[in-house]
Amino acid sequence: MKPQLSLKTLQEEALKFAEIETAYDEPSLYGVTDGKAVGTYLEHKFTAYLAGKYDYTQGNSASGIDIPSLGVDIKVTSIKQPQSSCPFESASQKVFGLGYHLLVFVYEKTDDHKNKTGRLNMQHTIFVEKELTADFQTTKGLLDILERDGNMDDIVAFIIERNLPVDEIGAEQLAKRVMKTPPIQGYLTISNALQWRLQYSRVIQVAGTISGISRLR
């Protein structure tokens, strides 16, 4: 019987995997510049690595995230432009977080032209707890308004100014929720699109200094 995968062992294994991968030359990655292809390669390799050692349920398109049993999505991104996309569920994700943890692998890719192999030098491996996955500027702005005794009208106006993807009724519902349960400061930059565009520069910068954003490597 394999042991059950936990959040603690997931983080420990992510660190080990990143160290192994950094020293590994992969012929199939030679000349590959498509970030999505590199991300898919690394995600599949990591989930297969975990499946060889632990008992856990792997994600599928229905669950939407890579490790649904732990509520974790794996993100792989280049250090050149540390960003990725994720499914849009509701505008509230920008205020209250995505609803799941993020395990972020940040790589720098190099090619060995002599041996025709590619290598992913893992620059950062970071775990972001779900409570901190909201948009930095949106949560900061809302918390500032609440601190200055802002009311419903102020919050609705802010939500509309920030172009959150909601109609007037949705903005009011979101404002009521903010008044009742103030958001926690988030650390992602989340851009509006058909899918959310997540940017990780700030997460990389603060990892290890903020409780809930762990620098594994």
Q: How many CB atoms lie within 10 A of CB 115?
A: 10
- Rounded CA separation 12/8 (Å): 6
pTM comes to 0.93
Assign 59 a pLDDT band (cuts: 50, 70, 90): confident
The answer to whether 66 and 57 are in contact (CB under 8 A) is: no
Q: Which residues contact 153 (CB under 8 A, 6 or more apart)?
A: none
Q: What is the mean pLDDT of residues 153-157?
A: 96
Q: What pLDDT does residue 194 have? A: 67
Calculate the alpha carbon distances from 142 to 89, 90, 158, 191 in Å: 20, 17, 8, 17
Q: What pLDDT does residue 87 have? A: 86
Q: Which residues contact 117 (CB under 8 A, 6 or more apart)?
A: 25, 26, 27, 29, 30, 111
- For 66-125, the pLDDT digits (tens) are 999 999 999 999 999 999 988 888 999 999 999 999 999 999 999 999 999 999 999 999
Assign 1 a pLDDT band (cuts: 50, 70, 90): confident
- 62, pLDDT greater than 80: no
Among residues of the chain, what percentage have pLDDT more than 70?
98
- For 24-37, the pLDDT digits (tens) are 999 999 999 888 89
- For 125-143, the pLDDT digits (tens) are 999 999 999 999 999 999 9
- 7, pLDDT greater than 90: yes
Give residue 101's identity as a one-letter amino acid code: H
Q: For the chain, which residues make up each domain, given as ranges?
A: 7-84+100-129, 136-180
- 63, pLDDT greater than 70: no
Assign 61 a pLDDT band (cuts: 50, 70, 90): low
Closest residue by Cα to residue 181 from 93, 88, 95, 91? 95
Mean pLDDT across the chain: 93
Closest residue by Cα to residue 52 from 8, 90, 2, 10? 2
- 169, pLDDT greater than 70: yes
Q: Which residues contact 96 (CB under 8 A, 6 or more apart)?
A: 134, 177, 181, 183, 184
The answer to whether 59 and 65 are in contact (CB under 8 A) is: yes
**CATH class given for the domain over 7-84+100-129:** alpha beta
Among residues of the chain, what percentage have pLDDT more than 90?
83
Q: Tell me which residue has tokens 């005794």.
A: 149
Q: What pLDDT does residue 211 have? A: 95
Sign for the pseudo-dihedral over CA of 203, 206, 210, 213:
positive
Beta strand pairing call for 117-128 and 196-199:
unpaired
- Rounded CA separation 181/188 (Å): 20
